Amino acid sequence: MSLNFWRRAIWVCVCSGTVLMCSCASPPAPSPSPFGETKAQHDARMGWWREARFGMFIHWGLYAEHGNELNGRRGGRYSEWLVQGIPNEEYEKLVDRFNPTEFDADAIVRLAQQAGMKYIVITTKHHEGFSMWNSESNPYNVMATPWRRDAMKEMAEACRRHDMRLGWYYSVLDWHHPDYLPRRKVDQRSVEGADYNRYVEFMKAQLTELLTSYGDIAVVWFDGDWEKGPEQHRSREIVDLIHALQPRTIVNNRIGLPMDYDTPEQRIPEDDIPQRDWETCMTINSSWGYNKFAQDWKPSAELIRHLADIASKGGNFLLNIGPDGKGRVTPQDTERLRVIGKWMEVNGESIHGTGATVFRSSASTPWGRCTVKKLEGNRTRLYLHVFDWPKDGKLVVPELGNTPARTSLLSAPGSALEATAGNDGVVIQVPQAQPDPANSVVVLEFEDPVATYHAPQFDAPASEMIGPMDIALFTPCDQLEIHYTLDGSQPTSTSPLYAKPLRLTDTTTIKARSFYQARAVSEVVASMYSRVAPRPAEGIEAPRPGLEYQYVEKDFKTVAELEAYLASDAPRTTGKVASFDLGSRERDENFGMVFSGLIRIPKDGVYRFEMTCDDGAQLWVGDKLVADGDGLHGPEAFSGTVALSKGLQPLRLVYFNGSGGRFLEAKWALAGRPLAPVEDQSLALAE
């Protein structure tokens, strides 16, 4: 059936009348409560997900049929992206061929269970725009194929039968829908009459189907949001719809909002571990969808170590399979998942229900990784995932102060290993032969709180002060003592013992070190706090409300490029606005704006300014660069402090947007107090 579905079908869409959109709508700050929940409510909703640690990702759609080659065209790494270079009328012919008669939802769910996976996320609609369920809002769906079976219904029923949680992947990007903009180069359809708001209503209709027709859905996993910003996607409205339909559903961050968890792709964070819930998604070979040319399969041992690495950092592992055009899981995927499953049969408790390592970083455990499980009372269990087995039979656990009550191999629960504490940590005598060449797990069980070595950390409202300021010291381990000095000398066990915040009144360098049982167990850390004079206020009388702005159009990559362009005779638009408002722009991409004026400082003090921007921006107060978010990136927050006198202070914010989403927000407060948006009444212009 080689036809264009949009010419023939009547599009079913839920229309909601007038849509009011703000050009600079504020996404919520990253927080544990995207739905306005209390922390306890949020933790309860996320509880099963944090316990799971391991899930299955399934990429399956029309792209499985072509296997990354269509009519002599071969795609790149990802087979599901082949559609990007093929006209719709040609790609749609795949609908006539798609007949996955060997698809077995129960077998796939059982395979996930055998691998030790606790949830499944499957593609309901990828960028190609094809719906893998019986969608009333989209005639371009699986029921139009010779197969004529609702794949998502079969997955939902199989997951219920096998007590497996199910999540929906849904692509915001859609290269088939007539209202989705921007179009691909090969798409020659006219854009006249295309309405992105109508496309958003289509998304809402589809999500309503997916969340009302298939039972409980554990996760909505968005993707493809990069071509527009959250205000154009109406992301908050969409997320509110999800929450209204299924309040306990977890939502990822790929709809332009922080939401419940972050999704690093094809990588495991090293030192940049997100300070929120997170999940690494990864392929077993190089492609997400079935790619008959992709033969670079990751070894099972590597995947087992990835799982331990991710769990040791407090994340989840979403490991992908790509069934072929017949619905079959490839033998290579199946073999690796079964090997992982055999390892999980023995070692699963070291993954499920565990938390991040108690040690400072992965460098603290050079032989592997560590996961942690809290038991009743003060009891704690450490799982040492040993990748590199010690040849001398001595496993050294640096940064560990106290000796475990019990030590054993997880593969031999009745075993007992000798553990002794020394100056270099705890040494465990292990067998000469490694039980599992991929990852052998040694269990340490403690009756008392675990003592781990961490250097002191400083908690201060700012590094500058204009009067007395309190500085707190702490370590993540309550078993350590902190000794400090204020005179530049090195701290020893006889130096003052930290007990309460230190009040500084003048420029001072604090040096501190952690001690365990009077023995130094960390490096010396130092931080300087400077007494400064606040910047004098401007002597301006009768200021007017608002800010001045300059607007220019160009593809900027850095703030320096924008500043240089403004320094030339380049054409620009100027005017006045009430606040940092992007509504005066004349297009959505490749532009720059500079806001300048004054800010009213209510009292002398050190102030923290924070701006969140997408793409780059810099915020200046007087001649000080306070917040620097230069460069191309998604929505990120940047902050800094400055000492200011009461009165009017010069303020300048330089912003540019490249492609995709645009966002700008400014907050401020006295250092140490909660940040709040910069109010319009705080901004002014000189007379």
Q: What is the pLDDT of residues 596-606, one digit of tens each?
A: 999 999 999 99
| DSSP conformation class of 445 | E
SS3 call for 279: strand
Interval 131-160 mean pLDDT = 98
Q: Write down the residue that tokens 């961050």 correspond to.
A: 253
CB 564 within 8 A of CB 499: no
Give yes or no for a contact between 236 and 668, defined as CB atoms under 8 angstroms apart.
no
Report the alpha-carbon distance of residue 345 to residue 150 in Å, rounded. 33
Q: For position 30, what pLDDT does the model report?
A: 37
Token pair 């080689």: residue:
2
Residue type, 209: E
Q: Tens digit of pLDDT for each residue in 233-272? A: 999 999 999 999 999 999 999 998 889 999 999 999 987 7
pLDDT of residue 231: 85
b/e map 195-225, b = 16+ CB within 10 Å: eeebbbbbbbbbbbbbbeebeebbbbbbbbb
Every domain of the chain and the residues it spans:
49-345, 362-446, 457-531, 544-685
> How far apart are alpha carbons 19 and 196 in whole angstroms?
11
Asked if residue 33 has pLDDT above 70, the reply is no
Interval 358-362 mean pLDDT = 90
pLDDT of residue 35: 65
Specify the pLDDT at position 423.
76
Instruction: For residues 462-484, give the mean pLDDT.
Output: 95
Q: pLDDT exceeding 70 applies to what percent of the chain? A: 95
How far is Cα 418 from Cα 560, in angstroms, rounded to an integer?
61
Name the architecture of domain 362-446.
Sandwich (2.60)
pLDDT on residue 554: 95
> Rounded to whole angstroms, how far apart are CA atoms 92 and 87?
9
pLDDT at 342: 98
Q: Give the pLDDT of residue 387.
A: 98
CB-CB contact of 615 with 658 (8 Å): yes
Q: What is the pLDDT of residues 190-226, one digit of tens each?
A: 999 999 999 999 999 999 999 999 999 999 999 999 8
Span 8-24, mean pLDDT?
A: 32
C-alpha triplet 160, 162, 164: angle, nearest 5°:
70
- What sign for the dihedral angle of Cα 434, 270, 219, 329? negative
Please identify which residue in the block is written with the tokens 């997951």.
Answer: 159
- Taking only the tens place, the pLDDT of each residue in 604-639 is 999 999 999 989 999 999 999 999 999 988 778 899
In terms of pLDDT, which residue wins out, 228 or 108? 108
Assess whether the region 362-446 and the region 457-531 belong to the same CATH fold: yes
Q: 427 forms bridges with which residues in the sheet?
A: 396, 420
> What is the overall mean pLDDT for the chain?
92
Q: What pLDDT does residue 583 have?
A: 86
CA distance 129 to 183: 13
Residue 166 pLDDT > 60: yes
Residue 301 Ramachandran class (φ > 0 left, ψ -120 to 50 alpha, else beta):
alpha
Of the listed ranges 17-26, 49-58, 561-570, the one predicted with least confidence = 17-26
- Residue 237 host element (H or E): helix 235-245
- Residue 687 has a pLDDT of 72
pLDDT tens digits, one per residue of 375-429: 999 899 999 999 999 999 999 999 999 999 999 999 998 889 999 988 778 999 9
Strands 547-553 and 591-601, bridge-based pairing: antiparallel
- Between the two ends of the chain, the Cα-to-Cα distance in Å is 70
pLDDT surpassing 50 at residue 297: yes
Are the C-beta atoms of residues 665 and 24 closer than 8 Å to each other?
yes
pLDDT, tens only, 49-61: 999 999 999 999 9
Beta bridge partners of 102: none
| 9 pLDDT higher than 80 | no
The rounded distance, in Å, linking the Cα atoms of 619 and 627 is: 5
Q: Is the pLDDT of residue 320 over 60?
A: yes
Say yes or no to pLDDT of 17 above 60: no
Asked if the model's pLDDT at residue 651 lies above 70, the reply is yes
In which element (H, E) is residue 198 found? Answer: helix 196-212
d(CA 682, CA 592): 23
Pick the CATH number of 49-345 from 3.40.630.10, 3.40.720.10, 3.40.630.30, 3.20.20.80: 3.20.20.80
Contact 111, 166 (CB under 8 A): no
Q: Which of 583, 656, 582 has the alpha carbon at shortest distance from 614?
A: 656
Q: What is the pLDDT of residue 242?
A: 97
CATH top-level class of 457-531: mainly beta
Q: What is the pLDDT of residue 4?
A: 40
Q: Record the tokens describing residue 654, joined without a space.
A: 């330089």
Predicted confidence (pLDDT) at residue 593 exceeds the cutoff of 90: yes
The CB density around residue 37, as the number of other CB atoms within 10 Å, is 17
Q: What does the buried/exposed string (b/e) look like for 347-380 if buried means 16 or more CB atoms within 10 Å of the residue's CB?
A: bbbbbbebebbbbbebebbebbbbbbbeeeeeeb
* CATH of segment(s) 544-685: 2.60.120.1560
Q: Taking the CB of residue 282, how many other CB atoms lie within 10 A of it?
A: 19
Structure tokens at 379: 């009891």
Flag whether pLDDT at 645 surpasses 70. yes
Mean pLDDT confidence for 478-492: 96
Q: Which of 261, 191, 192, 189 is nearest to 222 (CA)?
A: 261
Instruction: Give the integer Cα–Cα distance in Å for 514 and 509.
Output: 17
CB contact at 8 A, 179 and 199: yes
For 241, phi then psi, to 5°, come to -65, -45
> Which residue has tokens 């991409």?
589
